[in-house]
Structure 1
Amino acid sequence: MHAPVDEVRLTSLAHGGGCGCKLAPAVLQDLLSEMPRSAPFANLLVGTETADDAAVWDLDGTTSIIATTDFFMPMVDDPHTFGRIAATNAISDVYAMGGTPIFALAIVGMPIDKMDPADICQILAGGASICAEAGIPVAGGHSIDCPEPVYGLAVIGTCATSRIKRNSSARAGDALILTKGIGIGVYSAAIKKDRLSDRAYEEMVASTTLLNRIGPRLAANAAVSAVTDVTGFGILGHSLEMSRGAGASVQLYLEALPLLDEAAALAQEGCVTGASHRNWNSYSDAVTLPDDLADWQRHLLTDPQTSGGLLVAVASEEAEKLVGDIRGSGFPRAAIVGCVEAGAPGVRVVKQRKPV
């Protein structure tokens, strides 16, 4: 799990790690508010207006191109594993739009005076191995000498235009399904404190290197109205983006949220990231929590997920069947975690799902 004592730990070279490095939602919103609008480009179906997962360009009314980029600093010390996690996370944005990736470009920034070149090669090899699992080549990229290690991908994919799944098209009455467990940020914080068990480390790596390749199948399902992936803003932040995009309210069921095995215990011990605090400060005014919610539970709701699961809005009558299909496709923690309701945008967290 850790680097040998005579080597520099990869995580010690970075001030943050994984999707916990993302700018806080409020900061990002302010920055994007200064961006010129994309309205003159009729073929740009998805741009910056709805905080979606990737850009989408309609080629001919039949096929669309999906483009995304994602990169961050290491959250683990093993360079090959870091490369695998970063690549899985980057490719996920294409899957979240319902697309199929076709190739990737590497984004590489390394402190060449502090790192063994062999470790840099292992980062690149780890990323390439995940791209091979996804059936795509790393077709090029760009590298710079950087004060902290940074790695990720720009990924290009395709999708039938009629099957593009936005994060903004959920419907009142839909159920919400989450495909992976929550707690990656908590585990990452525990690594920094040397408090993550070997078993939990293996669980984290298994989750963060599991490709969200079910995305195209979800896109082909007419009952599915919206999809997004849950990453740096936590389940609360990405549910809120879905809520605002749809112009509807989202309710989350606290006790239904799938957690990684040691996430609750570690959160109670104070293993939380700075990003969890920044997330809450950014969007707390749009969230209603139970009065008796403990701080550690709130931190799980705002916990930044690296290479997290897909949040899927689906017609409620099809939700149980879809959960079964998703679990059977290699996502055993998939669960119904909430619903979309008519009402003003915002997220309300309740303890349990009401009986139907």
Structure 2
Amino acid sequence: MGPADLEDVIHSIRGETLESLGAADAHTTVLVGPGDDAGVYLIGDTAIVETVDFITPLVNDPFTFGEISAANSLSDIYAMGGRPVAALAIAAFPSCTYNTEVLKAILQGALKTIKRAGAVLIGGHSLDDQELKFGLSVTGTIDKNRILRAVGAQAGDVIILTKPIGIGILTTALKRSTFGDDHISEAVKWMTTLNMEASMLALKAGATACTDVTGFGLLGHAYNMVRNTQIDIIMDADAVPLLDGVVELAEEGMCPGGAYKNLKYLSDKVLFAGAVNMQQRLIMSDPQTSGGLLVALKEEQLGVFREAGAYYAAIGKVVKGSGKIAVDRKKC
């Protein structure tokens, strides 16, 4: 579902979600409702964070697909500053197309990732479907006083990204048989990398806002950070880290349909300088799977990431404004 359609759906239920709890409970128990990366609910003194996500295969190896899907599902917990504790598996499986060994391998890959996250798999649900899909519903815990929200960035903050982008373009080329699995080994490495360390460092650095970059692309998720606020993000297209081969593939027309859909949605929300060509615009709108965290923090706190030896790229800054994104090329 594209960002415009999803925005409309979420808006239609946000009020009813809170009203269903009663006016008094809505403000005391639901700390974060629909519209952010995950929901946060307070039960006594314990705050829990919950999310769900599932995807279709991006690679041909089922074990690797399980690893990627699990990392992708866990990402929203980390984007909120939480710690995953338990997961339920969701599997849509075409039993007439694949034997159960494929599903076993997917689950084994997912289990490997869940264990790396320090969580446990406690159950799940499966159904027979025409298209293979897999993911997790994840529950985590979170400090109610240290929740990372998509909104909250302040003028003067620096914007950093903790993984390179271009995954959607690379996997599109794989699906079109332009090359084989060995050509996306770098992308697989990043997709199976948990956002756990980046989340902990964001909390340590006192991040003012945080979100993960997934289906709406870098620009779509950046827009969620400024939507309905009095700030803008000025982004340097040349500073955005890219996976190897992405530019060449974009020039060959390997951008997925979701990139075009995202870019269309952003047409009145992002201001591009003339030097930013169409390929760069599509790359920055490219849907990501298990992408990195997009973090707003004070410039003096960049040392927290640098001293930890963590991967990050400073790609923009926050200024006073009206809820827009401006993209230029500072290095051209």
TM range (shorter): over 0.9
What is the match of residue 324 of structure 1?
A: 306
The CA deviation at 1:322 is 3.3
Secondary structure, counterpart of 1:123 in structure 2: helix
The CA deviation at 1:156 is 0.5
- CA deviation digits over 1:5-31, x for unaligned, max 9? xxxxxxxxxxxxxxxxxx110010111
1:85 and 2:61 matched: no
The CA deviation at 1:223 is 3.1
What is the alpha-carbon distance in structure 2 between the residues aligned to residue 162 and residue 245 of structure 1?
23
What is the alpha-carbon distance in structure 1 between the residues aligned to residue 206 and residue 50 of structure 2?
25
* One-letter code aligned to 2:197: I
Cα distance, 1:80–1:208 mapped onto 2, change above 3 Å = same
CA RMSD of aligned residues (A): 1.7
Specify every segment of 5 or more residues in structure 1 that has no aligned partner in the other structure, as ranges.
Answer: 1-22
1:232 and 2:210 matched: no
What is the alpha-carbon distance in structure 1 between the residues aligned to residue 279 and residue 162 of structure 2?
22
What is the alpha-carbon distance in structure 2 between the residues aligned to residue 338 and residue 207 of structure 1?
22
The CA deviation at 1:52 is 1.1
Give matches, 1:101-250, under 5 Å: 101-196=84-179, 199-221=182-204, 223-244=206-227, 246-250=229-233
What is the alpha-carbon distance in structure 2 between the residues aligned to residue 341 and residue 68 of structure 1?
31
Tell me if the contact between 1:25 and 1:283 (Cα under 8 Å) persists in the aligned partners: no
What is the alpha-carbon distance in structure 2 between the residues aligned to residue 216 and residue 264 of structure 1?
28
Secondary structure, counterpart of 1:106 in structure 2: strand
What is the alpha-carbon distance in structure 2 between the residues aligned to residue 271 and residue 241 of structure 1?
26
Secondary structure, counterpart of 2:110 in structure 1: helix
The CA deviation at 1:293 is 2.4
TM-score by length of 2: 0.93
Q: Which runs of 4+ in 1 moved over 6 A?
A: none
Cα distance, 1:94–1:68 mapped onto 2, change above 3 Å = same
What is the alpha-carbon distance in structure 2 between the residues aligned to residue 241 and residue 144 of structure 1?
33
Secondary structure, counterpart of 1:170 in structure 2: coil
- CA deviation digits over 1:117-169, x for unaligned, max 9? 11111111111111011121110011111111110000010111111100111
* One-letter code aligned to 1:29: E
Give matches, 1:66-81, under 5 Å: 66-81=49-64
Secondary structure, counterpart of 1:101 in structure 2: strand
The CA deviation at 1:281 is 1.3
Specify every segment of 5 or more residues in structure 2 that has no aligned partner in the other structure, as ranges.
Answer: none
Tell me if the contact between 1:323 and 1:335 (Cα under 8 Å) persists in the aligned partners: no
What is the match of residue 272 of structure 2?
A: 289
Alignment counterpart, residue 52 of structure 1, candidates 26, 31, 36: 36
What is the match of residue 346 of structure 1?
A: 324
TM-score by length of 1: 0.87
What is the alpha-carbon distance in structure 1 between the residues aligned to residue 119 and residue 63 of structure 2?
18
* One-letter code aligned to 1:155: V
Tell me if the contact between 2:204 and 2:304 (Cα under 8 Å) persists in the aligned partners: no
Tell me if the contact between 2:91 and 2:126 (Cα under 8 Å) persists in the aligned partners: yes
What is the match of residue 335 of structure 1?
A: 313
Alignment counterpart, residue 263 of structure 2, candidates 262, 267, 280: 280
Tell me if the contact between 1:169 and 1:245 (Cα under 8 Å) persists in the aligned partners: no
